[in-house]
Amino acid sequence: MVRVLTALFFLCLPIVGLAQTPAYVGSSTCRDCHADAYDSWATSHHGLAWTEASPDNILADFDGTSFAHDGTLSRFRLEDGKPFVEVTEKDGVTTDYPVHSVVGVEPLQQYLLETQEGTLQSFDVVWDVDEARWYHLYPDQDLPPDDGLHWTGPYKNWNARCAECHATGFEKNYSSATRSYASTQAEIGVGCEACHGPGEAHLQWAEGLEIARAPAGLDAYGFTMTFGQDPQADMELCASCHSRREPFTQGNPVPGTPYDDSYSLAVLRPGLYHADGQISDEVYVWGSFLQSKMYSKGVSCGDCHDPHTAQRVADGNTVCAQCHSPAGNPEFPSLRLADYDSPEHHFHELGTEGAQCASCHMIERVYMGIDGRRDHSFRVPRPDLSDETGSPNACTDCHADQTARWAADAVAAWYPDSLHRGPHYGQVLARGRTRPDLARGDLMSLAADEDSADIVRATALFLLQAVTDPELAARTEALLGDDAAMVRAEAVRLQRGADPQDRVVRLFDLLSDNRRSVRMAAARELLDIPPQSLPPRVAQDLRPAMGEWQLSLAARLDFPETHLVLGGMALALRNAPAAMTAFREVVELDPQRSDAWVMLVRISAATEGRDAARKVLFEALRVLPADPALQDLAGQL
């Protein structure tokens, strides 16, 4: 797919190089000097995030077991001690796969199958460790072999979607020409160097050798990441995997790289979060935690989680009582000193599930069938907002037979003088999701409210992009200089509503912003302006920023979503052949993408005539015969 990028802007932009970094040496090298940390890590979920398919690592029953689901039969066996999966698909085709490797250890374990050399896919039939049974991750979905969501499809590809966070020093190495992978990693599993950085220079330091610190940005011990000096940097390292985000590169950024130079964090958008910011889809913690008062007061991941065992530092309510108690915690002087672990606070019988802090302040959602994940926004339950925002609440999570009104009345009776029943950003975001035009003023006020969490403010700007115009672009111009990179990036996108001259003037400085996410956002919003019309200084700064965006797109050419973006870019540049090529690649990767088929039909009609459009339409209908958008096109043609 490089040819599409070339057609758009590859020929006129420089390739941005990466700084030289030390080599990875492997976690086993760390054991002699750091035995305690190593032993804690080795049996952790990090250490076992991705392992070889050995008898010691496999927990499932491969002794002639089978699992049938929706016309598909999977048979599991051992042959000379090696695990195999024989899969008979809905179309009757049977294929035998050796198990390539193993993912995770509890509460479920998943197995990777190699469908072609170098291409690893996450098999949908997984092992429930506690119940000792096979089960299907998506039992309610009809997934024939040609569906993009089938286990062999692009959305279940391990190289593209998962490996980066389950490996150390991972490089995807995707070839768009052959649609194949030659991925590499320094180590499978989240090893020591996944957090501390490559260890070669540290070994030199340990041997008393002089290390060159400046060229590679190393600390005094030879590491790219220094813990304990900047809590934000420490947390951003965790967030690099524990977040829902879009990566800018083909593999792991070197530990210590700022988050906004490596990823674009997903805001609180529909499908991922409820309107009030509670988790809906699996969003991996960071976006939730950024909303919390704990984050704003300086609490970090390591205050609750041991980084080597990946477990909580204490069990049950004890982990919360480190701070939330009559004694408090001197590190957080703003705490209200009180006994929270008592019926006078939680109004539930001691020892019950309702008396657990997490039950009320960290709602749980189950993903992958059996894997419960907690919401880390640590919010005060607001059942009084559920009807207005459409969001769930902790009370009726447990008391499912009751209404949100019942729960709100109970909370009001318990806490008659509560300060937590005033306006909430979820009310504004809920209105902004349905009618951003009517919520425009409130969304702008929320975006400018520095007392609100940055991800909330960025979400308000995201919702406003649906109704941007010159007046809105002008009124949000001040946010282009906001301290938070995610706010600046979303404010940049509102400038598409400005006239071209104003847009260039406002975005010029952001082409050299100190965060890559912002530079790329600014470059994208200047894409439709003819280069020859730009002042020389703007053109000069635009080239490297556009080059970074170019590399970001090139790093995700195995994503159908990327080619939708490329197709839209090509149309903006009035390059119909490039648009056709991009949308054709979408349906090659995922034939179920109706939106891409529709664009192929429309472009064919505009450039080649109705007969050519009908030909593409018939091709699309063979794949999606009942799709409403395609049926509508059929009526037109």
Q: CATH no. for residue 586?
A: 1.25.40.10
Q: Are residues 448 and 504 in the same domain?
A: yes
pTM above 0.75, yes or no: yes
Residue 334: CB atoms within 10 A of its CB come to 8
Asked if 304 contacts 312 with a C-beta cutoff of 8 angstroms, the reply is: yes
Nearest CA-CA partner of 297 in 265, 336, 239:
336
Cβ-proximal residues to 57 (8 Å cutoff; 6+ apart), any chain: 48, 51, 102
Q: State the number of CA atoms in the 13 A half-sphere of 401 facing the CB.
A: 0
Question: What is the pLDDT at residue 214?
Answer: 52
Structural contact between residues 351 and 342, judged by C-beta atoms closer than 8 angstroms: no
Q: pLDDT band for position 429 (50/70/90)?
A: very high
pLDDT reported for residue 170 = 98
Give the pLDDT score at 637: 84
Asked if the structure places residue 275 within a domain, the reply is: no
**Residue 54 sits in the same domain as residue 184:** yes
Are 573 and 455 within one domain? no
Give the residue-averaged pLDDT of 393-402. 97
User: Of 505, 538, 554, which residue is a domain's last?
Assistant: 554
**What is the distance between the alpha carbons of residues 11 and 525, in angstroms, rounded to a whole number?**
20
The two most distant CA atoms of the chain are separated, in Å, by 78
Roughly what angle, to the nearest 10 degrees, separates helices 440-448 and 454-464? 150
What are the CA-CA distances from residue 74 to residues 62, 70, 188 (Å)?
A: 11, 11, 26
Q: Are residues 158 and 110 in the same domain?
A: yes
Say whether pLDDT at 11 is over 50: no
- The residue among 188, 216, 248 that closes a domain is 188
Q: What is the mean pLDDT of the segment spanning 531-554?
A: 94
Burial of 194 (0-12, 13-18, 19+ CB in 10 A): buried
Is residue 299 included in any domain, yes or no?
A: no
- DSSP assignment of 256-299: T--GGGTEEE--S-TTTB-TTS-B-S--TTHHHHTTSHHHHTT-
pLDDT tens column, 220-277: 999 999 999 999 999 999 999 999 999 999 999 999 999 999 999 999 999 999 999 9
Residue 66 inside a domain? The answer is yes
Instruction: Encode pLDDT of 51-60 as tens digits.
Output: 999 999 999 9
Residues 519 and 602 in one domain: no
Q: Domain range for residue 565? A: 560-636
Q: Are residues 183 and 60 located together in one domain of the fold?
A: yes
Inside any domain, residue 131: yes
Q: What are phi and psi of 350, to 5 degrees?
A: -55, 140
- Cβ contacts of 502 within 8 Å, gap of 6 or more: 470, 473, 474, 495
Residues 573 and 540 in one domain: no
What confidence tier does 2 reach under pLDDT thresholds 50, 70, 90? very low
Count the neighbouring beta carbons within 10 Å of the beta carbon of residue 18: 9
> Is the confidence at residue 624, as pLDDT, over 90?
yes
Domain CATH code at residue 483 = 1.25.10.10
Res 603: pLDDT? 97
- 549, exposed or middle or buried, with CB in 10 Å at 0-12, 13-18, 19+? buried
Q: In the chain, what percentage of residues exceed pLDDT 70?
A: 96
∠ CA 531-17-554, rounded to 5°: 65
Strands (DSSP E) contained in 518-636 are: none
Residues 85 and 179 in one domain: yes
Domain count, the chain: 3
The mean pLDDT value for 187-208 works out to 96
Residues 551-575 have a mean pLDDT of: 95
- Confidence check: pLDDT of 18 > 90: no
pLDDT tens readout for residues 88-103: 999 999 999 999 999 9
Angle between helix 628-636 and 594-607 (nearest 10): 20
Instruction: Determine, yes or no, domain membership for 515.
Output: yes
Residues 568 and 521 in one domain: no
Mind listing the pLDDT tens digit for each residue in 323-356?
A: 999 999 999 999 999 999 999 999 999 999 999 9
Residue 210: its pLDDT value, please? 82
Strand partners, 40: none
The domain boundary, picked from 505, 520, 554, lies at 554
- Average pLDDT, integer, range 388-409: 97
Q: Is the pLDDT of residue 6 over 80?
A: no
- Taking only the tens place, the pLDDT of each residue in 101-159 is 999 999 999 999 999 999 999 999 999 999 999 999 999 999 999 899 999 999 999 99
Which of the four pLDDT bands, split at 50, 70 and 90, describes residue 20? Answer: confident
Based on the fold, state whether residues 515 and 592 are members of the same structural domain. Answer: no
Q: Quick one: pLDDT band at residue 24, thresholds 50, 70, 90?
A: very high
State the DSSP string of 44-76.
STTTTSEEES-TTT--S--SSEEEEETTEEEEE
On whether both 528 and 575 belong to a single domain, the answer is no
Let me know if residue 54 belongs to a domain.
Answer: yes
Residue 211: pLDDT band by 50, 70, 90 thresholds? confident
pLDDT at 209: 87
In a domain? residue 517: yes
Residue 212: pLDDT band (50, 70, 90) is low
Res. 215: pLDDT tops 80: no
Instruction: Calculate mean pLDDT across residues 429-452.
Output: 98
SS3 at position 455? helix
Would residue 319 count as lying in a domain? no
Output the average pLDDT for the chain.
94
Q: Which of 306, 313, 305 is nearest to 40 (CA)?
A: 306
Report the pLDDT value the prediction gives residue 15, as an integer from 0 to 100: 37
Question: pLDDT value at position 13?
Answer: 41
Residues 188-198: tens digit of each pLDDT: 999 999 999 99
pLDDT digits 0-9 by tens, 483-515: 999 999 999 999 999 999 999 999 999 999 999
16, pLDDT greater than 80: no
Do 55 and 162 belong together in one domain?
Answer: yes
